[in-house]
Chains A and B, each alone.
Chain A
């Protein structure tokens, strides 16, 4: 049985490897060294800093070895417990996920309206979205602080979530409305004809097609909220409420900088976003080309 199938498969597959070579166009025929040499140089520039921080995090304090061996996890232990990075980590996860959910839901609703309806204030609203890109978050710290103080939200993670969400919304909404425009309206109309109401049609027809775009937008919001520093620094006075970037800053501005702790803290800060990024990288590229550049 098996021997019978194998040659058949071979016959089917055999001509294929020849095709790409034949079809190769000159624009795709860049000499290999012109790819690998500059890429390797750039890769060095990218990776040396990562290696450096790994080195400091893993080698014992006082060591000058360029290889993290013997390896130690004392810095991680110290940073996680003594420097409260465990708490910071939990807070950052909360801020990141809450911002992700809030941004995605609000931007999805708004993006749908922008993509599917013509309404009176639409142009003005789009303009406002764009102009808000030029409002520097750092410059609004004081009035934002006053607002949150009036709402008695100072020192609550919710204030940071709201601030992060607000600054993520414009871009997210523009991206999402771009994605929705790429879904043919006729698909929705067909679902209405079949008896769905708008909501059900959206859920059954549009939402599944939006999944890659939503993942890109959501992760983008998560990464931003995870990384951003000033809002947390200003709105959260209690150390138990702080987030990882603030923790890192504390380590850096200490009188005598504990480089091992700083490196370990940095790795704790980097791991979640680098993992998120590794997953979304492909969607991000298609996401930007569909949502932003064309939009």
Chain B
């Protein structure tokens, strides 16, 4: 990198006075630690995943290891119903989660953006689940959904719902149950991002709208929402990728069950590599997931115009 720096004549005009003690290499030195860490622990692993995706690689079955060509990929697309099931579930999970988080998060942000008595405490309380981990979220909701001692039992005792069902082990209830658990933690984060952007809406706009006699709904529609557009686009896409990638919650809440009902693609990959030791196949699955995510990232870059004419 230092070489590249020496060769490259910086195209930037000397628009800033340089401190005399500043060597031209300084920016490269400054980003070097971050760049090296990311090269070693993100870029290299990504490349090795691509490499293994073309291999049969299973440490427990060494006699079958070797170059596989596109065999893994043919297997995935043509002969692996589980891939399509988990991909479909991932899509469903992401759409439902992000959609609900956006709606609830927006509503929550609009509410706590108002001035009212007890606002600071209210904000701290409703945002607090954000700080809680996926595993802890699972632990809490396992307690709540437990058929013997959970809230379900008390609801049943009160005549609501049937006694003794554990919502997480029933295929008909597990999806909404898992969605609600994840919403509990996800909505606050969305709300924080949107609230951050709400703070920067100019109050003058509302005053002007007020003078013109615009109703509150109209003000929201014509002032607030357009202002929030970028933040919503950005946080929705980031959130979608995070929800897609997140393994912690479902791994510990349902373990992908019952009967594979809540297995996302990353969870399937984790199971394939860690439990079944089928690293080659898992790598091919990872590659497919990565391409899907890359597609998302391109959409994201297009929509948010990041890195374009920024600055």
Contact = CB atoms under 8 A, between A and B. Distances in A.
A277 B127 CA distance: 9
* Size class of the contact patch on chain A: 35 or more
B40 to A, nearest CB: 7
B128 A266 contact: no
Nearest to A172: B34
B38 interface: yes
A101 interface: no
B107 interface: yes
Nearest to B15: A118
A35 B119 CA distance: 10
* Size class of the contact patch on chain B: 35 or more
Interface in A105-132: 106-107, 109-110, 112-114, 116-123, 125-132
B143 A263 contact: yes
Interface stretch (A10-18, A70-78, A141-149): A141-149
Interface string A154-182: 00000000110111011001000000010
B197 A107 contact: no
Contacts of B135: 227, 229, 245, 248-249, 252, 269
Contacts of A43: 122, 125-126
Contacts of B45: 140, 143-144, 147
Residue from A30, A49, A167 whose CB has the most chain B CB atoms within 10 Å: A49
Contacts of B273: 141-142
A226 B199 contact: no
Contacts of A286: 196, 199
A42 B26 CA distance: 50
A245 B46 contact: no
B197 A289 contact: yes
Given A42-B126, A273-B132, A113 B27 contact: yes
A263 B30 CA distance: 45
Contacts of A109: 30-31, 33-34
B48 A143 contact: yes
Given A270-B132, A274-B128, A131 B37 contact: no
Contacts of A123: 307
B33 A106 contact: yes
A25 interface: yes
A285 B129 contact: no
